[in-house]
Structure 1
């Protein structure tokens, strides 16, 4: 009797254990979905925080160095932020006028391209109709043909063209209004980021020291200090190197376009330098933008290839020789992993997420490699980089 009673109890225990094991993957998937949900809807908070932390990690060694020569952290932090913000502000003021000109030109250019495409399609349709008329046998007319003819109602081409043109103009106007509406939010995020960077540079070290003191053992304290310092040094090296390379690419492209004679060469150089922070995709966007600029200035002829050709030569030198040589093997990542990461960050946070995706991936990779976590995944990320 005892054996017969114990058997059902064991079966119940096994069933509960199996239920727990099946519930664990479900809980993991639910947590993963919750993380994605939070990252997606909290982008207005997460993106300024990520940018703030990256810039603070970049500037913190300089502030610490100035602190050693008796320069207060508040003074050095403000001075470094002014040195960082002032060039971008002056460059933005310099590019406002050409950017406004192109913002007004985009709807007109879209209408012009649509009219050209319609004229080509109309000529093609006209040629097809003429060939059909030539190939069609001529029938003799009779009295009964009057009763078999169907009335064909045709809409004038001009009406359709006007509708398409008006739709494109309206789309361009909506794009400009959306950009103007997003400008205050963007400026507010920049202001919040600047304030957070100042507070992190001034008060961050004392908070970090208090956190280190709360760790239970000296080994964990040393490990935490080493992790932060190593990540800070490697990430600062990466961001500075990539920024210098992309700035050099933008300036050299602007100079080449100026020598070619393309208008607003500085604007295109700045756009090329910013887009180069996006691996692979940025180069394609740069080619499309320069092709569009060349079409506007030179029209449809061979001269359009000059700006694109100059950019492709400079981009090839940068991507195939300069960047791999300067960065070395420690920062190399599998291109497929980069593309998947770009897609995920773009889906979560839009263009801002794409711009910060690679520095964020490098930071995650450095932290995981230093902590010795997910070594198999790290080998996959670095494979073929």
Structure 2
């Protein structure tokens, strides 16, 4: 029990750390929101500052120039947009009557009668409630008299002072937040190296390389995202404003600029950018055609941007899937409100980078990243576990396009067989699915007997042509499967590849290797013996068969195929062979490609001609 508790705690440690982080983000949001806005602006402005510094401009002057230009641009655009919006707001009361008249034309006479009936029922209900709960009705029902409410005396001067203070706080708080953001941004641009050094010191000397890569990746991804977001939003605003101008909507330039700005706020901003010009169009137009055209323009631009442009630009550069962007936008909006909604993508980029570089947080990258996909062998194995043979064969066929057959066997089929063996020995796989898997693999291997690799049109195939003076060594290859069906399937793959290489082959199972067969093989000293074994628990079986074969065939070359394993870096090939005891094999290979290469070396003559075929 004492050994199990640390293991369970280590599994829960990332979740506990994540929970504590979320609590800190929530309760410290008043400080973290301005800091995060400042970090985002610093990521956006840092390339411009760095470019000025490369031209020998002092950092203080470079930061001052970039900061003044950026904040002047933001303030100027905000001021102009705010004034234009106030002018539109003054015109809205004039549009009120027109909007009511146009909306009334939508309702039919039947709907108007229904609305009048509802209003009549509401009036009757109000009269009934009033008559039931008046003091006179309470006296007739002999209930307790109405309680006298205490009179509160309010100082008019104090209430006016309090209202003035609240009004001032409403204006001063945003101004103070903007000031904090500006101060933080200038400090981050001035002290970039100092901040990076502090983060590296917190990470520790042993993680300098890891944290340096994480910081560099986060800065690159966020900077690229902000740049492309600004480009996309500007293009969107220009197209939207131009379309509104052609439709005939007043203040089309304002609505285009506002659409580009509001797209910074995901989902909510786009809906707001549509609502305002749509209301104005309904008020000023004499028909319903302009509002319909505005809606069609909005749908065309939004669908093109969200389904084609943004996935192509954002997903590859931020490393976040589209579903994760939506989910994290909701998460940050619940945590920080509208500032969290604006900052959701840069914050999620940081989370994905942490999940990529911190092993304990790798589940974050799996949940949110774009490249968190099943490998081909895992996808193939999953489809066969679902007993979907057609799709599993389609996965193998798609992987095989333009590749040699041995690559499919080494990279997909044998690793999938290893997963089957692991689950079978652990008791996680029933006999029905296990047999279905073996039958499907066997059928696929049989179908690929006549497979021919498609080479590019201009490729050159080099085929060895032995010379007359020096002949290639002729020998047969005998493949022995170590134990179960998985070993037989790997041996079947090996035999198929040997036959495609024009070698004489023979497939035997471990039970069929009798003393008579071994004695007959001993007469052919050139015969190569392959022992096919697939982990887990493959070494002991391969060792026992190898010792038995070596006892009868002391002069033959024996190759052990421990498929889908990796060599121990601390052991040399000679040390690996020594592990087999008295029945030492000649070579130990881990892949079918190594097996083919080894046989080709033994079969290759010392000299020869090569025929070139196109």
Give your verdict on TM over 0.5.
yes
Q: Give the SS at the match of 2:238.
A: helix
Are 2:348 and 1:356 aligned?
Answer: no
Q: Which residue of 2 aligns with 1:293?
A: 280
CA RMSD, Structure 1 to Structure 2 (Å)? 4.3
Q: Which residue of 2 aligns with 1:192?
A: 180
Please list, as runs of the form range in 1=range in 2, the aligned pairs for 1:218-233 lying within 5 A after superposition.
Answer: 220-233=207-220
**More displaced stretch, 336-345 vs 271-280:** 271-280
In structure 2, relative to structure 1, the CA distance for the partners of 1:292 and 1:44 (3 Å cut) is farther
Are 2:72 and 1:89 aligned?
Answer: no
Cα contact 1:251–1:270 (8 A) shared by 2: yes
TM-score (norm 2): 0.45
Q: Deviations over 1:104-142 (max 9, x none)?
A: 5567867876788789889547646999xxxxxxxxxxx
Q: Which residue of 2 aligns with 1:346?
A: 333
Q: Which residue of 1 aligns with 2:581?
A: none
Cα contact 2:242–2:252 (8 A) shared by 1: yes
Q: Which residue of 2 aligns with 1:275?
A: 262
Q: Which runs of 5+ in 2 are unaligned?
A: 118-122, 128-165, 373-614
Q: Which residue of 2 aligns with 1:259?
A: 246
Q: Which residue of 1 aligns with 2:440?
A: none
- Compute the displacement of 1:257 (Å): 1.4
Are 2:33 and 1:47 aligned?
Answer: yes
Distance 1:242 1:129 in 2: 47
In the alignment, which of 189, 192, 196 is matched to residue 204 of structure 1? 192
Q: Deviations over 1:151-189 (max 9, x none)?
A: x97999xxxxxxxxxxxxxxxxxxxxx999744322221
Please list, as runs of the form range in 1=range in 2, the aligned pairs for 1:1-385 lying within 5 A after superposition.
Answer: 32=19, 35-104=21-90, 124=110, 127=113, 182-209=170-197, 212=200, 217=205, 220-298=207-285, 301-327=288-314, 329-331=316-318, 333-382=320-369
Cα contact 1:262–1:307 (8 A) shared by 2: no
Distance 1:155 1:115 in 2: 29
Query: Larger relative CO (CA 8 A, sep 6+): 1 or 2?
Result: 1
Max radius of gyration: which structure? Answer: 2
Which structure dedicates a bigger proportion of its chain to helix? 1
In structure 2, relative to structure 1, the CA distance for the partners of 1:372 and 1:259 (3 Å cut) is farther
Q: Which residue of 2 aligns with 1:142?
A: none
Q: Which runs of 5+ in 1 are unaligned?
A: 1-12, 132-151, 157-177
Cα contact 1:290–1:308 (8 A) shared by 2: no
Q: Give the SS at the match of 1:329.
A: helix
- Compute the displacement of 1:364 (Å): 1.9
In structure 2, relative to structure 1, the CA distance for the partners of 1:266 and 1:121 (3 Å cut) is closer
In structure 2, relative to structure 1, the CA distance for the partners of 1:194 and 1:269 (3 Å cut) is same
- Compute the displacement of 1:198 (Å): 0.8
Which structure dedicates a bigger proportion of its chain to strand? 2
Q: Deviations over 1:66-86 (max 9, x none)?
A: 334332111101111112112
Alignment size in residue pairs: 328
In structure 2, relative to structure 1, the CA distance for the partners of 1:124 and 1:116 (3 Å cut) is farther
